[in-house]
Amino acid sequence: MNLNGKKVAVLGCGRSGVAAARLAAARGAARVCIFDSDAHATCSDATVEFVSGAGEKEAREFKADLVVISPGIAADKPWALAFTCAGAPIIGEVELAFRYFGGRIIAITGTNGKTTTTALIEHILLQAGRSAKACGNYGYPFCEVALQKPQPEFAVLEVSSFQLETVQSFRPEVAVWLNFAPDHMDRYTRVSDYYEAKLRIFENMSEGQLAIIRVGEKMPALKPQVVEFSACVGSGLLRYEGTRIKQMDTTVADLKDTALAQAHNAENAMAAILACRAVGLKNDEIVPALASFEPPHHRCEFVAEENGILWLNDSKSTNLHSTEAAIRSQIRPIILLIGGKDKGLDYTPLIPLMKGKVKKCITFGQIGEQLRDTLKQEYDVARVETVSEAVREAANCATSGDVVLFSPGTSSFDQYTSYAQRGNDFCQAVRNILHI
């Protein structure tokens, strides 16, 4: 991609936007400017030209040759389209980085499990002596990795539907599709739009490349070779039985004494094993790394166990599917803490899944009342306003042998700036009430 003499507009002043601006400037763009529609926005890099409070007037006046859009901004909105008035194409930060990255790419998408799988693949590669960077929707912006000298051998790239909307030539060597369930209905008009955006991970792949897919996912015909894994169905190249990952009758790895033993993390582990095999690693390089891996925080994370009651922080559960996976993975009676922002999702599918597993629900946040009304016909439900109140209610009703599962099932933006802030608040509330 030749940027010499070109004017590049970068939309959004977050970390990925700044990285994209730096990469464009380093590759010869004549002028690079970051624009943000928020009048109060600030840019972390004082060396980059930056305009806050930008409107359509500023967009048209810039006359960009290329527009690089951040994933949080929809490319079909009038403000973004105004930057294309001189005929400039719109691409995302992932696409820009791809055009300048010379290493090998393992890309991971899915409604849930992306971050854990991305971190695990990076961990395995590093433990095996390869150079690798987790990037994209997790870790570094991909453009930061493309700027590194030398570049790592592997970019382990978590890609969201928002990032995949704006790819053009992007093509990973290995693509992992973990799962699909409705999400982001505050961004997409139809579930099919969300699905089609995620499918773009395979769009430019060829027959010599590999797609790793969970058994049971509804997939169109794909050009790359397909291998499958499963934690719930007795098929796929790898499957999970008890605590063991098996290939036919051979045990590949036993997850019993690892942080990956729950079924949802076993799926992530199988996907990671297959991805690392695909780029040339052997089982004896892969399996030892599983024991030393610690999943990222806020994903069915252990908080405490006092008086026989286990407290788990699953704040990263920002959709129904992730809460379903968390419920399935538990063998103790569950006190379920669920709630947050109203994203327009339907929670009735939870009702049959909870039967025999969830003894009480505690709902909170913007969607708390709706959830209470949805679930109260079948379950004992308490409605509170805040996470701290939910923790107090759980402490009052939990008994020895229970697990208090904080798995909100929606995003945090009604009361928090991120799922991490929400999860930290939950953990602190637990510590406070247990005096630990």
- Model confidence over 45-100: pLDDT tens digits? 999 999 999 999 999 999 999 999 998 888 989 999 999 999 999 999 999 999 99
Per the annotation, the verdict on 360 as an active-site residue is no
Q: Which of 25-29, 57-61, 185-189, 413-417 has the lowest mean pLDDT?
A: 185-189
Catalytic residue among 114, 133, 321, 360: 114
Write the pLDDT tens digit of every residue in 138-184. Answer: 889 999 999 999 999 999 999 999 999 999 999 999 999 998 876 65
Q: What is the dihedral of CA 145, 148, 152, 155, to 10 degrees?
A: 10
Catalytic residue among 184, 246, 264, 360: 184
**pLDDT exceeds 60 at position 185:** no
With contact defined as beta carbons under 8 Å apart, do 280 and 210 qualify?
no
Question: In degrees rounded to 5, what are phi and psi of residue 22?
Answer: -65, -40
With contact defined as beta carbons under 8 Å apart, do 237 and 214 qualify?
no
- Torsion sign, CA atoms 238, 241, 244, 248: negative
Residue 320: helix, strand or coil by DSSP? helix
Give this prediction's pTM: 0.79
Catalytic residue among 137, 179, 313, 319: 137
Per the annotation, the verdict on 268 as an active-site residue is no
Distance CA 211, CA 72 (A): 26
Tokens (6 digits) for 338: 């669920």
Secondary structure percentages of the chain, helix, strand, coil, to 5: 30, 25, 45
List, in order of start, the domains of the chain with CATH numbers.
7-88 (3.40.50.720), 96-291 (3.40.1190.10), 301-434 (3.90.190.20)
Q: Which of 9-13, 74-78, 99-103, 273-277 has the lowest mean pLDDT?
A: 74-78
Distance CA 380, CA 395 (A): 15
Nearest to 217 by CA among 267, 170, 251, 161: 267
Write the pLDDT tens digit of every residue in 143-153. Answer: 999 999 999 99
**In this structure, how many other beta carbons lie within 10 angstroms of the beta carbon of residue 284?**
8
- Torsion sign, CA atoms 139, 141, 142, 144: negative
| Residue range 311-331: mean pLDDT, rounded | 87
**Which DSSP letter does residue 29 get?**
B
| Site of tokens 């002028």 | 31
Non-local CB neighbours of 357 within 8 Å, separated by 6+ positions: 327, 330, 333, 334
Per the annotation, the verdict on 137 as an active-site residue is yes
Write the pLDDT tens digit of every residue in 374-387. Answer: 999 889 999 999 99
